[in-house]
Structure 1
Amino acid sequence: MLCIHRTSFVKVGLSLLVMIPLVGCVTMPHPFEKKEGSAGGKLTVPPPARLIVPVPTEALLTEKDSAILAQDMVKAMTDQTIPPVVGTAQKGEWLLMMKAQSKDGVVTPQFSVISPDGKVAATRNMMPVSVQDWASGNETILAQVASQTAPMVTDVLKGLEAEVMAKDPHSLKNRPAQIYFKGVTGAPGDGNIVIARQFVTSLKDKSNEIQSKKDKADYIVDCKVSVTDGAAGTRGNPVQHVEIAWHILDKAGKEAGKVMQINDVPAHSLDVYWGDTGSAVGEEAAGGVKRVISNFSGRDDKPLNNGAGKGLLAPPELINNK
């Protein structure tokens, strides 16, 4: 199984590969496994430094219920790894404004992301609710609306970030990621060499390059192998427990992700030669590292596909409140 976390973690079995995420679920090939693996996780591109969620005044709710909705949105978006806060609209801040409209017995809430210059970056409809349920301020319903809305807000922010990256010739959307590889340590026999050689070969493509100078790299990768005696194994055959940890740091030293490869193998079967096993480990790990970098950097995210609402000035009352 493979999941990616902003600090991603992958278990590979010399038959199991798993990545624990930051954001977005993916499926990856697992040549190190006898069976096809699965993937899960959640990846979020870093949003603005802060996102203010004002208590809505046009949401067709009481003041109390409007405050509950704002708090629910903050909680749901925090679960999405976005750092929002409930507060008054402030000049120069990113805002999440909410309101609602009623028609034919159905209330349709709506959110707009307002950029620091007071323009509407995007507007999206939220989950429709019956007039009766909405007017009652049912806390379960409000929490459900917030929960379903949070991923939509995340997608909008990722799209906005992707727009900026697309216009920046120095961003990873427009050039390969420079990766400084510190090598593999801890493997018995020829494992360090075989794994490292295959990793470098499998990593290099149009989006990723090996950088020989650490200070010019976007990401730094190292790998540590641990082999310990395990249980007796089936039918009394002894086994060893193999753990291979790949750490990916950005140039500021922040952990972008982790790929873990874990499995039990026949005891001492890797003492001298790793052969195809080492090649499979390096190839599989390269795929995991590429995914961590893509998820962490947002280089594969698509620019926001906006409709008519893009770039419009925020309502006068919002600007005046600033």
Structure 2
Amino acid sequence: MIWGRAAPVLVAAALALAGCGQVPQPFSKDRADLAKAPFLIAPTTEGVVVLPVEGVDAETGEMIADLTARALQKQDVVAGTRSSNRASLFLSGAGRRRLDGAMEITWTLARSDGTVVGQRTDAIASDEQLAESTASVAAWLRPRVAPAVKTVPKVAVYPVDGAPGDGNDLLRRALALALDRAPVELTDDLVQDGHVVQGDVSVVRQNDGRDRVEIWWTVMDAQGKQIGTVDQRNQVPGGSLDKSWGAVAAPIANAAVGGIVALLKQSEAVKAAAANAPAKLRE
């Protein structure tokens, strides 16, 4: 989809970005060997990686990318010129010199698989216009403000499957406790307009003798539609979780709950937007 320059286009709620912080480490360092590697939480939000502009000299291309990233940051958009995550969007620019001497930059926002989210073109003839262009690109990409969510998300925790020992029971109880402290309403079972969280665990012995542990927390709505998944993974000493998960269940749940709550709020925001949309748009 291509949007013209005159249209003030906003990228939808996919760009509802959160600030970058340290990756949670659910194992405290005094947890014996289980602290050797942190569980990594899959980002539940996207960031924008600004690539050097092509068609100009390398120094200028990097300078424009840096200016654009800073403009995005001022708009509360997580952006940078180097680091990315699996959900990152990539902003690339292709510059060319026009006959009137101005430089024309075509900006393309795309996902990592090459899917184009949007395009726009700016003409730049001065440093002042360059600053205006980067600010305009930032405004173009800035997240659309989601409708205020007045409804507290309701969620039930379904049984966890796949963990050895007491893992299924302890992980479910730990997540329920973490959600009970979160800004959601914990329910005993699925209710109308509510959600469920289903946990799945895989523990596989590796050639080096360690166990590769993967956990998937899947959030679904009352109709069974999958809203999203928060996944965690780690390498732990072989057999260390065969019987007891008591030392790690709560830290794992606490590390995952932020992403789960974000998915619940996202679901409520989508429902609110659909309810507030004009009738023709809902048809």
> So what's the TM-score if we normalise by structure 1?
0.47
Contact 1:231 1:239 in 2 (8 A): yes
How many angstroms does 1:221 deviate by? Answer: 1.6
Q: Given the alignment of the two structures, is residue 289 of structure 1 paired with residue 260 of structure 2, yes or no?
A: yes
User: What is aligned with 1:136?
Assistant: none
Q: 3-state SS of the aligned residue for 1:128?
A: helix
2: CA distance between counterparts of 1:247 and 1:241?
Answer: 20
Q: Given the alignment of the two structures, is residue 26 of structure 1 paired with residue 26 of structure 2, yes or no?
A: no
CA 1:76–1:127 in structure 2 vs 1: closer, same or farther (change >3 Å)?
Answer: farther
Question: Which of residues 144, 163, 176 in structure 2 aligns to 1:158?
Answer: 144
2: CA distance between counterparts of 1:260 and 1:31?
Answer: 13
Q: Given the alignment of the two structures, is residue 182 of structure 1 paired with residue 153 of structure 2, yes or no?
A: no
Q: CA RMSD in A?
A: 4.3
1: CA distance between counterparts of 2:138 and 2:200?
Answer: 35
CA 1:30–1:194 in structure 2 vs 1: closer, same or farther (change >3 Å)?
Answer: same
1:278-317 pair list within 5 angstroms: 278-294=249-265
How many angstroms does 1:230 deviate by? Answer: 1.1
CA 1:183–1:43 in structure 2 vs 1: closer, same or farther (change >3 Å)?
Answer: farther
How many angstroms does 1:186 deviate by? Answer: 0.7
1: CA distance between counterparts of 2:261 and 2:161?
Answer: 20
Q: 3-state SS of the aligned residue for 2:219?
A: strand
How many angstroms does 1:30 deviate by? Answer: 2.4
Q: 3-state SS of the aligned residue for 2:46?
A: coil
1: CA distance between counterparts of 2:176 and 2:198?
Answer: 12
Gaps of 5+ in 2: 1-12, 30-34, 49-97, 271-283
User: What is aligned with 1:248?
Assistant: 219
How many pairs align?
A: 197
How many angstroms does 1:180 deviate by? Answer: 2.9
CA-to-partner distance for each residue in 1:148-178, whole Å, 9 max, x for gaps? 64443343x523x3xxx23xxxxxx323111
User: What is aligned with 2:228?
Assistant: 257
Partner amino acid, structure 2, of 1:181: V
Q: 3-state SS of the aligned residue for 1:263?
A: strand
Q: Given the alignment of the two structures, is residue 128 of structure 1 paired with residue 114 of structure 2, yes or no?
A: no
CA 1:77–1:189 in structure 2 vs 1: closer, same or farther (change >3 Å)?
Answer: closer
User: What is aligned with 1:139?
Assistant: none
Partner amino acid, structure 2, of 1:153: W
CA 1:197–1:214 in structure 2 vs 1: closer, same or farther (change >3 Å)?
Answer: same
1: CA distance between counterparts of 2:128 and 2:262?
Answer: 40
Question: Which of residues 42, 46, 69 in structure 2 aligns to 1:42?
Answer: 46
Partner amino acid, structure 2, of 1:201: L
How many angstroms does 1:213 deviate by? Answer: 4.2
CA-to-partner distance for each residue in 1:207-242, whole Å, 9 max, x for gaps? 21223443524433211011111123xxxxx32221
Partner amino acid, structure 2, of 1:246: W
Contact 2:26 2:39 in 1 (8 A): no
CA 1:298–1:199 in structure 2 vs 1: closer, same or farther (change >3 Å)?
Answer: same
> So what's the TM-score if we normalise by structure 2?
0.53
2: CA distance between counterparts of 1:255 and 1:150?
Answer: 32
Bigger relative contact order (CA 8 A; separation at least 6): 1
User: What is aligned with 1:228?
Assistant: 204
How many angstroms does 1:99 deviate by? Answer: 8.8
How many angstroms does 1:272 deviate by? Answer: 1.6
CA 1:248–1:226 in structure 2 vs 1: closer, same or farther (change >3 Å)?
Answer: same
- Once the two structures are aligned, what percentage of the paired residues are identical? 22
2: CA distance between counterparts of 1:183 and 1:194?
Answer: 10
CA-to-partner distance for each residue in 1:68-106, whole Å, 9 max, x for gaps? 76xx35x23778x995578xxxxxxxxxxx99899xx65
1: CA distance between counterparts of 2:20 and 2:269?
Answer: 14
